[in-house]
Structure 1
Amino acid sequence: MFELNGSVFLPSTMTLTGIPGLESVQCWIGIPFCTMYILAVIGNTTILVIIKNESSLHIPMYVFLAMLAAIDIALSTSILPKMLGIFWFHSPEISFDACLLQMGLIHSLQATESGILLAMALDRYVAICHPLRHATIFSYQLLSYLGVGVTLRGLILIVPCLLLIKCRLKYYRTTVISHSYCEHMAVVKLATEDTRINKILGLSVAFLILGFDIIFITLSYVLIFITVFQLPQKEARLKAFNTCIAHICVFLQFYLLAFFSFFTHRFGSHIPPYVHILLSNLYLLIPPFLNPIVYGVKTKQIRNHVLKMIFSKNLS
């Protein structure tokens, strides 16, 4: 790495600032962040263990839930350890390649989680609107294809963004990233070269993934509600509606946080930078933290197994 005409050519390391404007309280901000991370790992690991050990839960709904739990663990782990290193141990440096790796992990895992939420919505649509065909349509082979498909989709769409940064952007005004993790636009804005292609590609990928998934998730739940309200028995309507409550809560918290963070970051120029960064951090940390709580409270099978585990340990 060396400087040329006031810019840095091919930097080997980058520096993450954490949360600009809140440096004096970052050590305290790390405490709730770390707490959310620990609870997210414990909660999602518990869901994985319950689903793995209970054969009655080896059905599409819970297989997708296990996929979601695994992604949440990976997503929160890709951001928080380094973030706590900045907040608590004053270790802001990160190699350029590690920065790209973190960026790729974060954005591809977000895309994969969005795809899993879409698959869960389609599963509920078929289960409620076409119950006799559910077992035939959602076979274990289809579950495998869906899992591999949403993972590859995230990678295929994110890798070009990383390659454009790695191969096309050579000169940077500074190596200091005003963020607590390697976010795509935060890195691209540091380059001195024409970054319009990088920005357009990044926005296109975001809209392609979120827009496509939200449209079909919303359509699935609209058709589900139409079918539910047409059921003749009140008990049947309540049962069908209750099976979707947890999914709807998870869907809303993921996409509402995503859009709130996205629009404030790109169109809220009058909002202080630390607000943008805090929202970005919470967008990555809150869903992994809340998802196991939502499913633990609203899903009877998960709740019963958690209580069984707690009481069996107390009795022993």
Structure 2
Amino acid sequence: MSSTRNRRPLSAGTPNQTPLLQRRLKTKPALTVISILLLGNIIWFITWLIPNKDQEIGSDEQVAAVDGEVITRQEWMIAMEERYGKETLQNLVNESVMEKAAKKFKIQVTDKEIDLELALMRSAQDKFDTAMQNLSSEQLRQKLRSQLILDKVLTKDVVIKKGSIEKYYEENQALYNTKTNYRTNFIEVDSKKAAEEALSEIKNASDFSVLAREISVDSASASLGGDVGFLTENQENIDPAILKAVQALKAGEISKAFKLANGHYGIVQVQEILEGQSFTYDDVKEHIERELALEQLSQSVTPEAFWSEFNATWYYGEAKKGK
């Protein structure tokens, strides 16, 4: 499938259009990760529900009961398929179709390219990093691989002038200098005494995440075991005391109790540190070229547009038609 019919004049070089491109390159990783996370979590949940080979899908095995009225595994599975089955299967077919497209059009996606997309995604939208934990690294990389294949297929015949790529890089270098990220767990309590008691429990082998669920008064993170995602230096809407404590730690370490701006006390644990990176023009020129090329398409195109080309069929009837 050629993308030449979707061409329109390149808008990157005109003053009125540049802000639109800037917004798209900044927000596209966020939109991508939202769809990745939603679909990935559904697939994980359905996979978890599938019975093992010793269990029949039509089993009358009891999975719950209300006032003695039994809910069977069969009823459970049917309900899950009705709610999530179609979307999950669609995603699996799309991934397979994209792999076929990569082979047909000789598209290559390298680990280095996926690493770059991950780094730029994390830098652009820190607030989605908490949700990112719900996908394994392998699942997330596969989702990004499929997206990159689609983008490359759609833009393979679009020509972007070198000057446009260089101009965008020069005007947006801040996008390609990522800060160090600290994957952080957090406990907030009412007093220093409560914080010291929590530290004592952790020292005596209590699990930080379990304790956060039990005692943290920060409702947003307590339900996640204290996980507040990846934090960066000078991040907005985060108490500076938390950032200061985090930056003093190595991966796996836990801070001392410290006072928060609201008068409460906090404790942080750093799970993982991802060092900041500076990407040169050569590092990101293909990424920018692809993004500018996508801007030339007259409409968005989804993997469903390729179903008929690769004879994709599915349980729910005719192959889907994507724009």
TM-score by length of 2: 0.29
TM-score by length of 1: 0.29
Higher Cα Rg, which structure: 2
More strand by share: 2
Q: Greater relative contact order (Cα 8 A, min sep 6): structure 1 or 2?
A: 1
